[in-house]
Amino acid sequence: MCDLDHPHDHPAFGFLVDAPEIRALVDETRRLMKTISSDAERVDALRPAFARLLAADGWLPNDCAQADDKSRMGGGIGQYALYRAEDGSLCVFSLVVPAGAATPVHDHLAWGLVGIYRGTQDETVYRRVDDGAEPGRATLEVAKRQTLGPGEFYTLLPPTDDIHYVKTISDTPSISIHLLANDTACVWRHRFEPAKGTVTPFRSGYANAPCPPDV
Ligand SMILES: [Fe+2]
């Protein structure tokens, strides 16, 4: 499942971690994807199911809750696929950010929910204020900052509030759980350097599952 030394020994798609709690969330998401056409209404309707996963203990294997010293995000950040739809329509993953470490500023390019399972994170959200006309350049402004602890979560509804970074402020690693309507770590998205005004293509990758050669 999340074995870093043998990531190719496990299925790359489907339930990489086959736990009833994860199946319950994916089943509910599939049901709501069929019955609610509005992304905003769908993520709202998903809140109770997502809260149940964050509140449950014992379903996240220890090896999906570890730092990853080969991380493409740097800082020992580990990203572990728990569920991946083969058609790229949905994924669930854990993100482990060691104490004091921060992600790059990045976007997600899909609707979803992100919540804290362990530890505490500071989140800084940006709004993009340029028109995107100049390749490689992006002008960002801080839109909001918030602190999140276990059980707290937020929704992603691009393009609103889709660009952010998170930093672990607890003494222990933070673990956040992500439910997103793409194959987040394998799609080409963006990382930003607000102080320099730059944006570059970014594919974070999973520690425990390969990405297709190019997507
Ligand atoms: Fe993120």
Q: Give the whole-angstrom CA distance, residue 77 versus residue 69.
A: 7
10 C-alpha to ligand 1 centroid (Å): 25
**β-strand 174-180 against 91-97: which pairing, if any?**
antiparallel
At position 92, the amino acid (one-letter code) is V
Q: What is the pLDDT of residues 119-154, one digit of tens each?
A: 999 999 999 999 999 999 999 999 999 999 999 999
113 C-alpha to ligand 1 centroid (Å): 10
210 C-alpha to ligand 1 centroid (Å): 20
**Does 9 have pLDDT greater than 70?**
no
169 C-alpha to ligand 1 centroid (Å): 16
Work out the percent of the chain whose per-residue pLDDT is above 70: 95
pTM: 0.94
123 C-alpha to ligand 1 centroid (Å): 9
Residue 91 pLDDT level (bands cut at 50, 70, 90) = very high
pLDDT of 148 reads: 98
91-97, strands of its sheet edge to edge = 14-15, 78-84, 91-97, 174-180, 112-118, 153-156
Q: What is the pLDDT of residues 36-73, one digit of tens each?
A: 999 999 999 999 999 999 999 999 999 999 999 888 88
pLDDT of 3 reads: 62
Q: Is 162 left (phi over 0), alpha (psi -120 to 50) or beta?
A: alpha
What value does the mean pLDDT take over residues 180-199? Answer: 97
162 C-alpha to ligand 1 centroid (Å): 8
